[in-house]
Amino acid sequence: MALGVLHAAEVPPLTSATVTRVENHVSYGKVIGDKSETRPAVPNDIIKANNFLMSETDSRAELKYEDGTLVRIGQNTIFSFDAATRTLNLKKGTFVFYMPKGKGGGTIKTPSFTAAITGTVGKVSNNIIAIIEGEITLLPSGRKVPAGFFARINADGSIDILPFDMTKAFDGKLMTFNGPLVSLPETAFGSMLNYFQSLGRDYTDVNNLPSSVNHFNPNQPTPTRTPTVHHATPAPTPVPQTPTPPPTTPSSSPQFQFSPP
């Protein structure tokens, strides 16, 4: 507890964040007493602590804090943050985050996890936290999750910490939809989704594993190929010719005879 008080006293709070990009349907919610009001979020909105962003299907948004921290929320997500404790709160859905080193760190809180973060890049869903750069500490257990590993809570409440393939760690819409996250290469994040989905097939007792990951990097259906219409100069209309009467003896080359439609 003393460390927490010291942390709060020395580190600037996350008092607000600026919306830097919105894609499709994202709402900015203001908490007023025990009620809330929402309106469409737009770039340059200033999100105050304890208010929230809420995204719909196939929608996402990016937030930037004064200390350089970036958060990108995925579809079907409700996200808020607390100023004094520098806590990023996920009520549901998914987000990716970048918190620069040496800025005081913070906390991530989901319905399943609480974790202390420092200079870290990672992905968060309801029951998975995956670390791409840096390290987090799960609370209250103190277990560490280093880069290249993810923590997952199981249906029985146990927590697995497992590796994932870092060469496939960065593709996906949230990692690139407003350019690459700071310090990360431009290609990378959503192939990790395939790894998580394979885990979902093997561990069917995990709460929300497939759905929580799909909220973050949804499976994209194979698009139906639309026929390409080429607008070219039309060929001249052929001039009708008087047909030559067919011979009384059938042709010996039927492949050259054209039957009417």
Residue ranges covered by each domain of the chain: 2-217
Q: Look at the pTM and tell me if it is higher than 0.75.
A: no
CA distance 53 to 27: 6
Q: Are 55 and 41 contacting, i.e. CB atoms less than 8 angstroms apart? A: no
Q: Which tokens belong to 121?
A: 């890049």
CA distance 174 to 170: 9
CATH architecture of 2-217: Sandwich (2.60)
Per-residue pLDDT tens listing for the chain (261 residues)? 444 444 445 778 888 999 999 999 999 998 888 888 999 999 999 999 889 999 999 999 999 999 899 999 999 999 999 998 999 999 999 999 999 888 888 999 999 999 999 888 999 999 999 999 999 999 999 999 999 999 999 999 899 999 988 877 776 677 767 666 665 443 333 444 444 444 443 333 333 333 333 333 333 344 444 433 333 334 455 555 555 555 544 444 333 332 333
Q: Please name every residue paired with 30 in a beta bridge, in sequence order, or none if there are none.
A: 37
φ, ψ of residue 196 in degrees (nearest 5): -65, -40
